[in-house]
Amino acid sequence: VYGGGGGGGNSGYGGGYNGGRHPTPRVTIAQLSDNLLQFQQNVTLLQQLVDSMDRPGNAEALSQVDSQVAVVHDLSVRIGQQLTDQVAYIEQRPRDEASSLKVTHAKLGKDYNRVLQQFRVAEDMARQKQRAMGSKNRGAGTESGGRVVRDRAVVKQDERLRVQMQEQAINEAIVREREDEIREIHQNVTKVNEIFKDLAEIVNDQQEDINTVEAMIEKSHAHARSGLDQVEKANEHQQGCVVS
């Protein structure tokens, strides 16, 4: 991962954490994204050079591999340090801004680790091809059968490395598919929650109407009772007048 110790030489990729001495990032998120794209492009170029190393008459690729490995290694260290600097910066931002930055940072970190793994596979393949080709050159005077065996071993190793890269791509596709499914479930849950809220508001509004109608019925009943009482009193008064 990009947070490991970085130092010089072959001690590792991605630089080391600076202990929070740089609360302000050296690059913006947009610049970091551009650097990752450059990292990916250079790793792709290295993979192409490595694939062409054992082709007859391709001495140019052999001379360029070491230089390209050095370029990609420097990029990996620099970007790893930039990602680490971003962590200290994000921790000091307001909560709402930090939440958004953390999501973006996690995506960039995942992309960085993916490309870094591709670089390590390509570098390992290059070293193995160099050793195999060196052994073949030292044994050029031996019989052709030995060369065929070594060539087949190199081809098999290439196939194993390609299979590893394909498996990695498949695993990443599965992870992305699961993320999409989780995101869709979250969206559906949010929609259902909104529907229940709407239903609750509708029921609340209808309850108010029901309460209004009930109050009107009670008032009407009271008015009717009062009117009936007045009619009965008037009737009694009229009957009293007739008798007298």
The pLDDT, as a whole number, for residue 176 is 74
Cα 192 → chain centroid: 25
Q: 111-133, pLDDT tens digit by residue? A: 999 999 999 999 998 888 888 77
Neighbours of 73 (CB within 10 A): 16
Residue 22 makes CB contacts below 8 A (sequence gap 6+) with 85, 88, 89
The pLDDT, as a whole number, for residue 36 is 93
CB 53 within 8 A of CB 65: yes
Which amino acid is it at 221? Answer: H
Q: Is 9 left (phi over 0), alpha (psi -120 to 50) or beta?
A: left
CB 63 within 8 A of CB 114: no
Q: 60-80, pLDDT tens digit by residue? A: 667 788 889 999 999 999 999
Distance CA 126, CA 161 (A): 11
- What average pLDDT is seen over the chain? 76
What phi and psi values does residue 24 have, to the nearest 5 degrees? -100, 125
The pLDDT, as a whole number, for residue 144 is 53
Q: Map residue 28 onto helix, strand or coil.
A: coil
Q: What is the dihedral sign for C-alpha 118, 120, 122, 125?
A: negative
Weakest-pLDDT range from 1-5, 38-42, 53-57, 193-197: 1-5
